[in-house]
Structure 1
Amino acid sequence: MSGTAPRVVTTVAVDTIDGSLLDLVPAESPLSWLRHGDGVVGWGSVASIRTTGPTRFADAAKWWSELIANVEIIDEVDQPGTGPICFGTFGFADEPGDSVLVMPEVVVGRRGEVTWVTTVDGASADLGPQPAPHAPTVTFADGARNGEEWMSAVAEAVARINRGDLEKVVLARDLLATADAPIDVRWPLARLAEEYPTCWTFHVDGMFGATPEMLVRRERGLVTSRVLAGTIRRTGDDERDLALAAALARSSKDLEEHEYAVRSVAEALEPHCTGMNVPDVPFVLHLPNVMHLATDVTGVVHDGAQAGAAVSSLRLAEALHPSAAVGGTPTTTAVALIAEIEGMDRGRYAGPVGWMDASGDGEWGIALRSGEVDGDTVRLFAGCGIVGDSVPEAELAESQAKFVPVRDALS
């Protein structure tokens, strides 16, 4: 752990801020969680913790509970995301599982007509626009595996599935981007927020992207999880894309993949929720570059009377991770196969990323359509759900479509 527990956290309403909240964020360690212009951004670090291994979620949750127990909260706005909040990004695998939770010094939030600023110990919050970031000049190269090698891994996964070892596995690949100077992550963040407003644009500790998938939201007792599984690339021709969307909605391969993912989410949430609603039929989510089969699973969190406290959004994220949408089915078998044949360290790709407030409310997405920036390099990630009738060439094309958001945002 670094930093010390703050004394006073103050949230006040401010006048409406024109433009993107990202315009306010300085270049040093920006934090972001935005969708349709609403959300929270932050900067400065009052306290942080890095956790690893199988207990990374529990260790981070314990640290946050102890930290806010020693905080005086003055909250004049009383919205989810006001008062003290932390931003986090968590490793996909148990080992090494490198994860980060950070409490910023300044947070600016917007929710509809309400805009606020939260500061710790009276920190100065400059709400004027910061100097604009510069576009990098970037070259791209294969990551851990080239396309042929990755298709071989997909073929191996299909063989294992058809042999009966498992039902589904998600295989990912990476792409390396190298710039001519250290990358200011605010540049791709601004591009992603503009081009993909329906996604959640995030950045925490080098991990950034625009995820279409809400792993879990907890807001005043209501729990929501958006499941995406089953993908088709858009052509740019509206009439053709409508026909493709209809084909996606009827695709037995994609519906099978989607059913696995929805089932895994419902089973993970059930012990923590009552009154759950699991739609029978998915809808087609249209994004600028692809379309997905999507289902929103909802429920009401138990009041926690027996345990002494309601389960937090971070604990719900832990219960859900990894879902079939990013791991496979059965989960244990699929994750073991990923480690065996995928050929790369995912790091925090496909792990939970988001924020949580002092009450345990928060939003945790899955770090998809993402990259990890380190100085002048970025690792871009993309993954595909593999089932028994998956075709390696088609999966490679799908992965290339999923690279597009971050690749275009960088270049």
Structure 2
Amino acid sequence: MSLSEPVGSQAPHLVIRSQRVDSVSAQLMDHLPAEGALAWVRRGDGHVGWGVAARLDVAGSNRFQDAVAWWQDLVAAAVVRDEVGVPGSGLVCFGSFGFTDDDPGELVVPEVIVGRRAGTTWVTTVSPASSLAAPPDLVVQEPAPVHDVAFADGARSGTDWSSIVADAIKRITAGELDKVVLARDLIAIAEQPIDLRWPLRRLVSAYPNCWTFAVDGLIGATPELLVRREKGLITSRVLAGTIRRTGDDAHDLALAASLARSSKDLEEHEFAVRSVADALEPHCTSMNVPETPFVLHLPNVMHLATDVAGVAANGASALGLAAALHPSAAVCGTPTDLARDLIGEIEGMTRGRFSGPVGWMDAAGDGEWCIALRCGQADPADPRRMRIFAGAGIVAGSDPAAELAETNAKLVPMRDALGD
């Protein structure tokens, strides 16, 4: 039974049961069906799900508050039989939200969830209150390979986008704002319908330290943890400042050292860290904000990174904290309002759910929300097509050609995942 709930309607009454299982593939993605894949996987742990037991679609300026309220009502009405008792077992929702208030978002409660954490694997079934579903037989399902993918310019060509960056640099230099993040897209067109499980498996394999996700046709492998809340501890990983890897280890170490000394990248990173720390401070009794970033090494790029941590001061859920953080300087700019206005004026495209929060949450309000980066959105009108996205932070010291090269590097994960 699937229930799609408009804002303001009564949340459904559900029965949830989580049981330990042994006969599960080493790769959780192996069990996903061809349609309706939901996923959140990192280093082999996480959740995958399918079916729709309940769903909320939201948009507008109150979208996060509406989603939090709906989830609280659903939790209050649910009957949960959790025989596992680890974070992520029991009642769980997946969700993603647009970058702007006008971009739609959703929370989805699957009918079936397969989860793994620290060696414990389980299956959760979600049913209407009038029934109790039996655990399904878990079988490995092979995706259809994706072949013959061509890539075309999206809203703007690379040359046009570089011109926009140059315009933004002039405005920043003139003192209108400190930083703005500008995004661009490409259109991937395959000969046959894209089986989303194919790129998901490749992303999990190639980027095990990233959070690989799938929610309502939005898939990707993001390196940026917007916020995690677990048993009173709040953490956030801030990324800003990027350099492309060459594949030569010695050269990459030298590049990492240059990134750590780059005044332009350190300035961009400082804006992002400050925005996260300021947003989390009202929700924490104490915080740890490192003074200097470290260099995060990924297969295609390296980032300046800072892990911010705090002790929760109130009952704000993981989604409530994500709402307080979005949009951070890492995806919007500084000051936020001015940067958001400039994005709307010159970026020239609708981001949709790119650079918005994506993640999961349990009945206690614990969970993880990342920023939807290194991702693509399947075209619901044409299963052969997908938009893929990348962005770059622009500050006074930015160079348009270098920023275009940075976005090209950030497009590599999705381009490779969709390739032969």
Q: How many residues are aligned here? A: 404
> Does 1:15 pair with 2:22?
yes
User: What is aligned with 2:149?
Assistant: 138
The aligned runs of 1:106-145 (5 Å cut-off) are: 106-121=112-127, 122-123=132-133, 124-145=135-156
Do the aligned residues in 2 keep the contact of 1:217 with 1:362 (CA within 8 Å)?
Answer: yes
User: What is aligned with 2:311?
Assistant: 300
> Does 1:98 pair with 2:104?
yes
> Does 1:283 pair with 2:294?
yes
Which stretch shifts more, 55-64 or 38-47? Answer: 55-64
What CA distance in whole angstroms lies between the structure 1 residues aligned with 2:206 and 2:137? Answer: 27
Give the 3-state SS of the residue equivalent to 1:45 in structure 2: coil
Residue 8 of structure 1, CA deviation:
1.4
What CA distance in whole angstroms lies between the structure 2 residues aligned with 1:172 and 1:296? Answer: 24
- Amino acid across the alignment from 1:389: G
- Amino acid across the alignment from 1:409: A
2:49 pairs with one of 42, 49, 53: 42
What CA distance in whole angstroms lies between the structure 1 residues aligned with 2:263 and 2:197? Answer: 40
Which stretch shifts more, 5-14 or 22-31? Answer: 5-14
Q: TM-score, normalised by structure 2?
A: 0.95
- Amino acid across the alignment from 1:400: N
User: What is aligned with 2:62?
Assistant: 55
Do the aligned residues in 2 keep the contact of 1:215 with 1:364 (CA within 8 Å)?
Answer: yes
- Amino acid across the alignment from 1:8: V
Residue 64 of structure 1, CA deviation:
1.0
Give the 3-state SS of the residue equivalent to 2:35 in structure 1: coil
User: What is aligned with 1:167?
Assistant: 178
> Does 1:334 pair with 2:334?
no
What CA distance in whole angstroms lies between the structure 2 residues aligned with 1:267 and 1:131? Answer: 45
- Amino acid across the alignment from 2:115: G
The change in CA–CA distance for 1:361 and 1:406 in structure 2 (over 3 A counts) is same
User: What is aligned with 2:35?
Assistant: 28
1:324 pairs with one of 326, 329, 335: 329
Give the 3-state SS of the residue equivalent to 2:292 in structure 1: coil
Do the aligned residues in 2 keep the contact of 1:16 with 1:115 (CA within 8 Å)?
Answer: no
User: What is aligned with 2:385?
Assistant: 377
> Percent same amino acid among aligned pairs?
63
Do the aligned residues in 2 keep the contact of 1:202 with 1:208 (CA within 8 Å)?
Answer: yes
- Amino acid across the alignment from 2:364: S
What CA distance in whole angstroms lies between the structure 1 residues aligned with 2:418 and 2:86? Answer: 34
1:389 pairs with one of 370, 381, 397: 397
Which stretch shifts more, 58-67 or 211-220? Answer: 58-67
What CA distance in whole angstroms lies between the structure 1 residues aligned with 2:103 and 2:62? Answer: 9
Do the aligned residues in 2 keep the contact of 1:16 with 1:113 (CA within 8 Å)?
Answer: no
> Does 1:235 pair with 2:246?
yes
Residue 16 of structure 1, CA deviation:
6.1
Residue 194 of structure 1, CA deviation:
0.2
Give the 3-state SS of the residue equivalent to 2:53 in structure 1: strand
Give the 3-state SS of the residue equivalent to 2:155 in structure 1: coil
Question: Structure 1 segments of 4 or more deviating over 6 A?
Answer: none
Residue 28 of structure 1, CA deviation:
1.2
What CA distance in whole angstroms lies between the structure 1 residues aligned with 2:294 and 2:23? Answer: 34
Give the 3-state SS of the residue equivalent to 2:417 in structure 1: helix
What CA distance in whole angstroms lies between the structure 2 residues aligned with 1:219 and 1:289? Answer: 30
Do the aligned residues in 2 keep the contact of 1:6 with 1:120 (CA within 8 Å)?
Answer: no
What CA distance in whole angstroms lies between the structure 1 residues aligned with 2:255 and 2:205? Answer: 25
The aligned runs of 1:211-290 (5 Å cut-off) are: 211-290=222-301
- Amino acid across the alignment from 1:108: V
User: What is aligned with 1:89?
Assistant: 96
What CA distance in whole angstroms lies between the structure 1 residues aligned with 2:301 and 2:136? Answer: 39
Give the 3-state SS of the residue equivalent to 2:194 in structure 1: coil
What CA distance in whole angstroms lies between the structure 2 residues aligned with 1:223 and 1:144? Answer: 37
Which stretch shifts more, 117-126 or 233-242? Answer: 117-126
What CA distance in whole angstroms lies between the structure 1 residues aligned with 2:126 and 2:223? Answer: 31
User: What is aligned with 1:307?
Assistant: none
User: What is aligned with 2:80?
Assistant: 73
1:402 pairs with one of 393, 410, 416: 410
What CA distance in whole angstroms lies between the structure 2 residues aligned with 1:274 and 1:256? Answer: 27
- Deviations along 1:280-307, one digit per CA (max 9) or x if unpaired, are 01000000000000000000111x3xxx
- Deviations along 1:65-85, one digit per CA (max 9) or x if unpaired, are 111211111111111111111
- Amino acid across the alignment from 2:218: M
> Does 1:343 pair with 2:342?
no
Which stretch shifts more, 115-124 or 148-157? Answer: 115-124
What CA distance in whole angstroms lies between the structure 2 residues aligned with 1:46 and 1:279? Answer: 42
User: What is aligned with 1:311?
Assistant: 316
The root-mean-square deviation of aligned C-alpha atoms, in Å, is 1.1
Residue 135 of structure 1, CA deviation:
2.0
What CA distance in whole angstroms lies between the structure 2 residues aligned with 1:15 and 1:212? Answer: 30
Do the aligned residues in 2 keep the contact of 1:227 with 1:294 (CA within 8 Å)?
Answer: yes
Do the aligned residues in 1 keep the contact of 2:47 with 2:116 (CA within 8 Å)?
Answer: yes
Give the 3-state SS of the residue equivalent to 1:119 in structure 2: strand
Q: TM-score, normalised by structure 1?
A: 0.97
